[in-house]
Structure 1
Amino acid sequence: MEKKIDFSKPLVVLAPLAGYTDLPFRSVVKKFGADITVSEMISSNALVYKSEKTLRMIEKSPSEDPYIVQIAGNNADLVKEAVLILNDIPGIDGIDLNCGCPAPKVFSHGSGSNLLGDLNKLEEILSTVKQYSNKQYTTAKVRIGVNDKIPVEIAKAVEACGVDYVAVHGRTRAGKYKAPVDYDAIKAMKEAVNIPVIANGDIKDYEKAKEVLEYTKADGVMIGRGAIGKPWVFYQLKHGIDDISEEKKKEIILEHYDAVLQFHGVHGTVMFRKLLHSYSKGYTGAHEFRDLINKISDPKVMRDMIENFF
């Protein structure tokens, strides 16, 4: 079977971000240059209990190819059940295990970055995904430790489970999103293993992405929060351009808005407010614009507002 993911040149991957990387957003970044898109984090429990909302979160846009679904879990039996459910859903090219989420409610359940504190547990869960998945790829998203940095141990544990690549956020769990990203740790992981390593953490623009790839020698970059409010970063990376026109930005924002309405219905107008808060950052009159759109729930009026403001 032909491999869908080609690491012969560095890839640009959209990171899973709860509440942001839904189908409309993924379809937009895919169109403008992302090589791989990943679903929002899916709880294994919610999947096994057939939560409607969860099944909806897995739906993908036809353009998303390759498409990876990320799951979280710490119970091998439940994770196995979740994988078997995903096996029956066509159009998914891989399953990613979340071993990096620092959120307290995920951590306290023993999932996400909690697994980094017990590498035997991590290997048990990740090997379960690998063993039962019928998808082409098994991958993992990790951080570099819980409180202490153990990047090389983590990289080796993940590699031992037979994953196809690993994405690493260069902070510990304790570092949340504030501590400086340790690109040396990512570089050390890259040198320690034979699988592709994708660098993640504070990659906010084209310049930074180039710098990180150069420094860590990683096989790609994964961009999450840096793409919120500026999804054109994928377009810049794809085309190797530093600059992007206001026209292009407007086109992307409108495309995103239309996609949100199409997927979420009329309620999408309200959902899009928080995204417009990000999109309008740095624009003159942004403050007034935000106050105005916070009161708008009519799709057509909202679209006119976007047209006129950007």
Structure 2
Amino acid sequence: MESSSVIETVEGTNGTAKKDNSPASNESISNEGPASKKVKLDDTGSRKVDSRDKGVARIRPEFLLPKPSNTTVSVEPDDDDAEAGGTKRKKERGQNKNRRFAKARETVKFCEALKDGDGTCRFGKDCKFEHDVQKYISSKPADLEGTCPVFDAIGYCPSGLKCRWLHSHYLAEAGKVVVDEEKKGTAGREINRIDRDTQNTLQKKKFPVPKSDKILPYLDSLKEHDMVANDGSKQGTETKDNEDQDKKDLAATYVEPPFLASEKKPLNLHHAKILSPLTTVGNLPFRRLCRWFGADVTYSEMALALPILQGSKSEWALPRSHTSEIPGFGVQIAASKPWQAVKATEVLTTACDTGIGGIQDVNLNCGCPIDLIYRSGAGSALLDSGSKLIRMLKGMNYVSGEVPVTVKIRMGTRDSHPSAKKLVARFVTEGDVAAITLHGRSRQQRYTRVADWDYISETAQVVKDLYEARDDKDKEQRERRKVWFVGNGDCYSWHDWWDAVENYNVDSVMIARGALIKPWIFEEIDARQYLDKSATERLDMIRKFAQFGLEHWGTDEYGINNCRRFLCEFLSFSCRYVPVGILEVLPPKIQDRPPMWKGRNELETLLGSSDYRDWIKISEMFLGPAHESFDFKPKHKSNAYEAEG
């Protein structure tokens, strides 16, 4: 190992900032990992200076494995899965298209209204589900060993009689489900739900959106009489005075003036540790895990505006959050038309059960690169429609009340024509957004090549220059708050994060894949040191995710199947982590791929496996044996290789 590259200090305590005293489920693992190490980088220079082999993570020789035979398929992850989901790109990339996930079915289907051991079914004898408790319990498979993780955490189990750990909170003689009222009263809960009546109102298109009804005609007038081109230049017209007067007349019809961004609930993103909106893996349990590791701000998975307006149950599951995420939880939406974005914003900020307390900001996605979103005119397609994008943000700002509006963009749609600087200048000048996040890649680039942090820095300087040059005599400009500017792309270590905030003009850095691979990156940022987590610590992190997942999806067979599926999705990223203790060169780079390696013990080797069957094996440590109907198909065929016989 190159002794001049890093300084390692072994500490007597582990690297985990928070401890969990609940019983661990990994007692069967006999080979304990080494004590956690904090590895501190000696060189704090620019991220451009790097002597390593390009694209290769250098492993210490004693942990290298022989090169695999020709019959073994190597894994080449496609990082479009991180922030964007699936994509219809080249077939040779090896994705499993059209994945299907089997759902567990009960032999005897019990009535949902009676699952708590009491209650009344409103259908009575006409109900098609079973009402006989003993018959249902006898039809269930044997309970799983141990205590119900959900009951142990929050004092009751929402799955009731359907729980696979029923014996731990059911008094069979009394026919009663046990509830610990004291623990239940202090436990966190999920918020931003909508009730069935609200959902039905949305489905019938009867949900009131009075603010949207006022602002949309005005936005339409801006479309018809837009005086500013997409590139920011003025368009000449002979009827400019008349058109300006028309817009003023229409604006004068408003009963209530819109909030300026400076009048809304303030955001504070200065050096905030931000988790990016992530598709599939950025679910509520994963966000809770990142909060547990120290994230300050989290975002929902990208929700499509139209299904939100249609009351889609699956889409409304995305804005749901946990009280541990408050304050600092934002909802991201994607829309192709102004009316969709505006109405969805008003619905989200009024229908959620906690109002502005449950949503910190509404974020408009203008960076999603996948074809399905782009071709519909949403996501990164909005980067080529600057005037439409401005109208969307203006309308969202009007209807969101005190909830600020933020935006996430890419450099542009094409490598040769970055447009972010001009767009950002318009965002700041218009004053309708509270924060801007720039991902340092184009839509064309996707996740190939490293993020362009020089361009991010130049764009951040545009924001800074606009504020320094603004007229102090202009009251409206003077009262506007600073627009936060956040960078995004390739942040995989505390060194990357601090390098960005100290040397690239940004207020903070939004972390995406780095958190998927090692969620404790937020701890590292606070400590300004690498945390060499032992295998047992990482396994405990997986146990924590499983606990949060069971609280969210339920402890019945269906919920366990869901939890197992999303745990495997999480492991498809976390298996890419190479422990810093076996690396020869630091800092680690997210684009680097290691040769075949083995861990410092068998458990560490297992956690680094890219075979999906090993992910299922890991899930069984906390969720019990996989149901015979469970069939997890990984996103990449290379993760589904057959073992050599």
Q: SS at 1:287's partner residue?
A: coil
The amino acid across from 2:309 in the alignment is V
Letter in 2 for 1:284: T
Q: State the secondary structure of the residue aligned to 1:85.
A: helix
Q: Is 1:301 matched with 2:624? A: yes
Q: Do the aligned partners of 1:200 and 1:223 also contact (CA within 8 Å) in 2?
A: yes
Task: Indicate yes or no: 2:364 matched with 1:42.
Answer: no
Deviation, structure 1 residue 118: 1.4
Measured against aligned partners, the alpha-carbon deviations of 1:16-68 in whole angstroms (never above 9, x if no partner) come to 01111111111111121111111110100010011001111111010112111
Name the CA distance, whole Å, in 1 between partners of 2:343 and 2:524. 40
1:51 maps to 2:312 = yes
User: Contact 2:338/2:388 (CA < 8 Å) preserved in 1?
Assistant: no
Paired position in structure 2 for 1:259: 548
Residues 180-219 of structure 1: per-residue CA shift (max 9 Å, x gap): 3111111112111142110101111111112222221200
Match of 1:192 in 2: 462
Unaligned runs of 5+ in 2: 1-262, 468-482, 554-558, 579-603, 627-645
> Contact 1:197–1:220 at 8 Å: present in 2 too?
yes
SS of alignment partner, residue 257 of structure 1: helix
**Structure-2 residue corresponding to 1:280:** 575
CA contact (8 A) 1:27 1:63 kept: yes
Q: What are the within-5 Å matches in structure 2 for residues 38-187 of structure 1?
A: 38-64=299-325, 65-88=327-350, 89=352, 90=354, 91-147=358-414, 148-159=417-428, 160-187=430-457
* Aligned-residue offset at 1:295: 6.6
251 and 2 in structure 1: CA distance in 2 versus 1, 3 angstrom threshold: farther
Give the CA deviation at 1:296: 7.9
Bigger drift between 61-70 and 253-262 goes to 253-262
Contact 2:412/2:442 (CA < 8 Å) preserved in 1? Answer: yes
**What CA deviation, in whole Å up to 9, does each residue of 1:45-99 have, x standing for no partner?**
0100110011111110101121110011121112222112112212112100001
- Distance change >3 Å, CA 287–CA 36, structure 1 → 2: closer
SS of equivalent to 2:324: coil
Structure 1 segments unaligned to the other structure (5+ residues):
304-310
- Does residue 1:14 correspond to 2:283, yes or no? no
1:162 deviation in Å? 1.9
Q: Is 1:67–1:92's contact at 8 Å kept on the other side of the alignment?
A: yes
SS state of the match for residue 274, structure 2?
strand
Deviation at 1:161, TM superposition (A): 4.4
Q: Secondary structure at the match of 1:181?
A: coil
More deviation, 103-112/263-272: 263-272
How far the C-alpha of 1:2 sits from its partner, in A, is 9.8
Deviations 1:225-284 (Å, cap 9, x if unpaired)? 111131111121133332243254333222112112221221211321122233233442
- Give the whole-Å Cα distance in 2 for the aligned partners of 1:277 and 1:109: 29
Decide whether aligned partners of structure 1 residues 296 and 183 sit closer, same or farther in structure 2, where only a CA change above 3 A counts: closer
Contact 1:261 1:269 in 2 (8 A): no
Name the residue aligned to 1:271: 566
The one-letter code matched in structure 2 to 1:266 is: I
Distance 1:102 1:74 in 2: 14
Answer with 1 or 2: which has the greater Rg.
2
Supply the distance in 1 between the matched residues of 2:289 and 2:295 (Cα, whole angstroms): 9
Counterpart of 1:204 in structure 2 is: 492
TM-score (norm 2): 0.45
Once residues 57 and 296 of structure 1 are traced to their aligned partners in structure 2, the CA distance between those partners, rounded to angstroms, is 26
Q: 1:137 to 1:288 in 2, by over 3 A?
A: closer
Q: Identify which range, 213-222 or 239-248, moves more after superposition.
A: 239-248
Aligned 8 A contact 1:232 1:252 in 2: no
- Going by fraction, where is helix more abundant, 1 or 2? 1
Contact 2:412 2:419 in 1 (8 A): yes
- Say whether the 8 Å CA contact 1:130–1:161 is kept in structure 2: no
Q: How many angstroms apart in 2 are the aligned matches of 1:2 and 1:47?
A: 24
- My pick for the range that moved more, 241-250 or 171-180, is 241-250
Report the residue type matching 1:158 in the other structure: F
Q: Deviation of residue 294 (structure 1)?
A: 3.5
Letter in 1 for 2:613: D
Equivalences for residues 226-237 of structure 1 within 5 A: 226-237=514-525
SS at match of 2:499: helix
Greater relative contact order, per chain length (Cα 8 Å cut-off, separation 6+): 2
Q: Which moved more, 1:247-256 or 1:152-161?
A: 247-256
Q: Which residue of 1 aligns with 2:587?
A: none
Q: TM-score with structure 1 length normalisation?
A: 0.90
| Amino acid across the alignment from 1:154 | L
Letter of the 2:436 counterpart = V
Contact 2:330 2:363 in 1 (8 A): yes
